[in-house]
Each structure stands twice: as C-alpha cells, then as structure tokens.
Amino acid sequence: MKILAVESSGTPASVAFWEDGKIKAEFTITDKLTHSVTLMPLIESMTKICGIDLTALDAVAVSAGPGSFTGLRIGVATVKGLTLALNKPAVKVSSLMGLSRNIFAPGCFVCPLMDARRGQVYAALFRNGKQLLSDSALSVEDYLDIVEEKAGKTGRCIFLGDGAPVHRERIEERLGKRAVFAAPGSSLQKASSIAVLAAEELAAGNTVSSDDLVPDYLRIPLAEQMEKAGTLEDAGSRSLKKIARGDKKHA
C-alpha cells in the first residue's frame, strides 16, 4: 500500500510518502513561509527525487484539522485537486492525533495543543494510543483542569505542539514535575505521523471521496456565530457587521 500525506494545519508545511509500513520520505519546512508557495513544490520535489508514481497511490491523506483555517484549506484544496485528478480516495486524519504520534511514550499522557487565538487552544489528550479528550477548542485553564483530572497526582504528561512553548510557564505552574516537553524535532506537525495514522484508517476502510473532503475546523465562522447569537442584527450593529464581514478597517 502506498500513501501520500500532506500536513499544513500549523506553521510547518510537510509531505510524506508511506509504503507498506515504512516512511519512505518526509519533506518538511518549519520556517514561517506561505503554505501556498511551499506545499506543492515539496510534493513535486519529493515525488521527483523518490520516483513516486502518483497513479500507483492507494490514497492521499491530509491533516484535516483543527488548525489555521487558511492552512487547513490549502492542504485540503491541494488533496482535493490531487485526488480529483488521480481518481483516488482521500483519508482524513486529526492534526492533534497526528501530533500525538510524533512521540512514543508508553504509559504517559500525551498532550498536544495548538494556539487557537481568541484566548483558546486546540487540544486533545491521549494515553497508550487511546484518546481521553476529543479534539477541542478551549481555554488553557480548562484544558489543564482536564489533564490534571485524568493524570492524577503521579501521571507524567508530555506536552507538544506550537501551544506548548507559548503556555509552558502556566503548564509548569499547574502540573509541576509531572509536565515534560517534547524535543523541538518532535514538537511540531509532521506528515509522517499523518501517513502512519492514515494507513490505519485506510486499512479500516475509512476513506473520504475527493468531493466530500472538507476540513474539521472545530469552529464556525465568527459572522455565523454572531448571526446565530442574534448580535448581528442588534441596534447599532453596523460595526459588528463590518467585523463579521471582515471589512478592511476593522479586520
């Protein structure tokens, strides 16, 4: 079985090629470059250097979220284009579950968290491959409440993802010596982890058609939130409408 995997949910642009249980290649850029400029050239060069025959792929996998909305859409639009052209299925993998697979830590609580802005993180919780908290958008404090509750007084918690260094101080305050942080090389999103998880999904028959593939944003657009809450139509809501629409002056 052959899988091409794409990960662009955060800062890294990463692509990987998986074949019969092995990661054959992984190309990653972790510098803050635009995914729309880096992602396809990464795929192009990996394909060329490794002699990958795209028509022989069994599926194309994508880190479907949560994460940066624009980053997710570039990854998903790219995979939609590839699978549409190749007439292949897509496989969706959670970006947080992908992060948890960057490390092998039996018995430990694996805590991936990504900066989600608006005072929140995207986070989940895993132990021995089992997901104890589903992918969520929540405040760091709420997240650490859950981690503390699940890990108890002695459980070792490994934090990773771009939210880990940002909230390191608070995490250490709350969890003390129970908290450890993943090494830089395994702390950010990697397409190889997406590929490994995608292989499991593919073996279980969990594929998505090219047409139906969409990201898992975890959040509805701000304008829709305001509309549902009724704040969009409130008196004097002209400026709210502008914010909701993302008019330049208010963006």
Contact residues: other proteins, CB under 8 A:
34, 36-37, 39-41, 43-44, 54, 69-70, 73-74, 76-82, 84-86, 210-211, 214-215, 217, 221-224, 227, 232, 241, 244-247
**Which lies closer to other proteins via its Cβ, residue 63 or residue 210?**
210
If the CB atoms of residues 44 and 234 are measured against other proteins, the closer one turns out to be 44
Nearer to other proteins by Cβ, of 43 and 175: the residue is 43
User: In this structure, what is the dihedral angle of CA atoms 25, 31, 34, 39, given to the nearest 10 degrees?
Assistant: 0
Residues contacting 234, CB < 8 A, separation 6+: 240
Shortest distance (Å) from residue 81 CB to other proteins: 3
Q: Measure the CA–CA gap between 113 and 141, rounded to whole angstroms.
A: 12
**CB of 41 vs other proteins, minimal distance in Å:** 5
3-state secondary structure 168-218: HHHHHHHHHHHEEECCHHHHCCCHHHHHHHHHHHHHCCCCECCCCCCCCCC
Q: Which is nearer to other proteins, 130 or 248 (CB)?
A: 248
Give residue 233's identity as a one-letter amino acid code: E
Helix ranges (H only) for 110-167 are 140-151, 163-166
Tell the residue number behind the tokens 């028509």, with chain if given.
Answer: 55
Least distance between other proteins and beta carbon 80 (Å): 6
Q: How many whole angstroms separate alpha carbon 197 and alpha carbon 183?
A: 21
Q: Which is nearer to other proteins, 149 or 247 (CB)?
A: 247
Smallest distance from the beta carbon of 205 to other proteins, in angstroms?
22
Token pair listed for 16: 């990987």
Instruction: Pick between residue 41 and residue 129 the one whose CB is nearest to other proteins.
Output: 41
Give the span between the Cα atoms of 233 and 161, in whole angstroms.
38
**Least distance from other proteins to the Cβ atom of residue 74, Å:** 5
CB of 133 to other proteins, least distance (A): 26
